[in-house]
Amino acid sequence: MTESFPSSPYSPPKPQGSPHHAPPSDGDSHLEIDSDQTSSYQEEFASDTTSLSSMITSYRYENGRRYHAYKEGAYWGPNDEEQNEQLEIAHHMFTMLLDNKLFLAPTGDHIRRALDIGTGTGIWAIDFAEDYPFAEVIGTDLSPIQPGFVPPNLRFEIDDATETWVYPENHFDLVHVRSMYGAVADWPAFYQNALKTLQPGGWIDQLEMSIQFRSDDNTVTDDHVLAVWSRLFIAIGEKIGKTFQIAERAKGYMEEAGFQNVTERRFKLPIGPWSKDKKLKKLGMWNLVHCESGIEGWAMALLTRVMGWTYDEVQALLADMRKGLRDPSIHAYFYVSAFEMTTAEMPRRGHSVQDLVWGVIVSLSVARSLFFLAIGITG
């Protein structure tokens, strides 16, 4: 039997206006000097900075949720406090799943530069920067929702990782990606960007959860709300051209992009404390909270914008989902797939003068920050 869902035509974001081009100038003409350059430039710069900041933080509010303003509509997840709390829960859960590790790639301890794509609240990047204080760490996202007080070796940038990356080639030792399901249209191009920016011997480490709810004892039947949810969002991914099945497809995309030695590890993550295994029982409790706190944010924009559902129709589905998630007779889980892939097979380059200079700069920056922090504490 073919299953149908209420739907409406998908409306992509409106194209931006054409850029303004300055008329050609005479290359032999003298450049006039502005006698009031300092004050006028500072005023103009301050105005431009304020306008840019306002544009990035002019969030979209819809159905009681808040969404990013930069590249509006490019990503469907909210960036409000409710969803940010869910991201913090997910970080704790995934770290516990990996036995208190932030990543699994065998990079060794000599990481000089790391990039966290889709950093969200920045919690992974913050933890990583604290563990690797002499590494330069960058976290990127569409939303400026990260805290201001962070380790001195970490900075956050507003960026769209689905476009061409601006970082130099052969630059990073580690690129970290997590929970980017439904966010990328061209995964091979995404991985090619990562491949270019990684040093020879560098690693990309990615963690993705499957949206396919499963059970080993057939308690998740085909007509159960958890199964209906899975099919619905797989269909949405196909409709918008951004797959929600990246956990199942990533390895093939990585190999297509040119990565070698792609390793995939799959973990079963229960929903609820039904597992006899102590670790999985605890993880199941965390995952139940993770799912309950996340489902409205996962569903609202996609079902209303893409499928044409009303707010009340979405809430009815969410009510059934909460019942299904909490039902102790349902032994549901989903897979979490961890991928590690490397540019190895190519010799790792030696430390260049640029690398050595950068190491000195980072070390001095950390020492300076610690010095002033100590002064503030003792003063």
Query: Looking at residue 241, what is its pLDDT?
Result: 98
**pLDDT single digits (tens) 211-239:** 999 999 999 999 999 999 999 999 999 99
Distance of CA 18 to the CA centre of its chain: 29
Instruction: Return d(Cα 140, Cα 296) in angstroms, integer.
Output: 24
Residue 160 lies in a domain: yes
- Asked whether 141 and 158 are in contact (CB, 8 A), the reply is yes
Rounded (10°) CA dihedral 84, 86, 88, 92? -170
Residue 22 lies in a domain: no
Of 47 and 335, the structure prediction assigns the larger pLDDT to 335
**Weakest mean pLDDT among 39-48, 203-212, 315-324, 326-335:** 39-48
Q: Is residue 34 pLDDT above 80, yes or no?
A: no
| Averaged pLDDT, 6-32 | 39
Residue 287 lies in a domain: yes
Residue 206 lies in a domain: yes
**Weakest mean pLDDT among 96-105, 212-221, 353-362:** 353-362
Q: Is residue 172 pLDDT above 50, yes or no?
A: yes
Of 20 and 116, the structure prediction assigns the larger pLDDT to 116
Count how many Cα atoms sit within 13 Å of the Cα of residue 308 in the half-sphere of its side chain: 8
Which residues, other chains included, contact 115 with Cβ-Cβ below 8 Å and sequence gap of 6+?
Answer: 137, 138, 139, 140, 167, 172, 174, 175, 176, 197
**pLDDT single digits (tens) 109-144:** 889 999 999 999 999 999 999 999 999 999 999 999
State the DSSP H helix or E strand holding residue 287, giving kind and residue range, or none if neither: helix 278-301
Name the CA radius of gyration of the chain, rounded: 23
Query: Looking at residue 6, what is its pLDDT?
Result: 53
Residue 226 lies in a domain: yes
Residue 136 lies in a domain: yes
**Weakest mean pLDDT among 8-22, 227-241, 267-281, 340-354:** 8-22
**pLDDT single digits (tens) 184-193:** 999 999 999 9
The CATH number of the domain holding residue 171 is 3.40.50.150
Which structural domain, as residue segments, surrounds residue 202? 61-348
pLDDT category of residue 46 using cuts at 50, 70 and 90:
very low
Average pLDDT of the chain to the nearest whole number:
84
Q: Is residue 23 pLDDT above 90, yes or no?
A: no
Distances (CA, A) of 365 to 67, 108, 134, 313: 35, 23, 9, 53
Q: Is residue 198 pLDDT above 90, yes or no?
A: yes
Q: Is residue 25 pLDDT above 80, yes or no?
A: no
Residue 158 lies in a domain: yes
Neighbours of 226 (CB within 10 A): 23
Of 135, 98, 100, 96, residue with least CA distance to 116 = 135
Counting the structural domains of the chain, the total is: 1
Query: Looking at residue 30, what is its pLDDT?
Result: 41
Residue 365 lies in a domain: no
Q: Is residue 375 pLDDT above 80, yes or no?
A: no
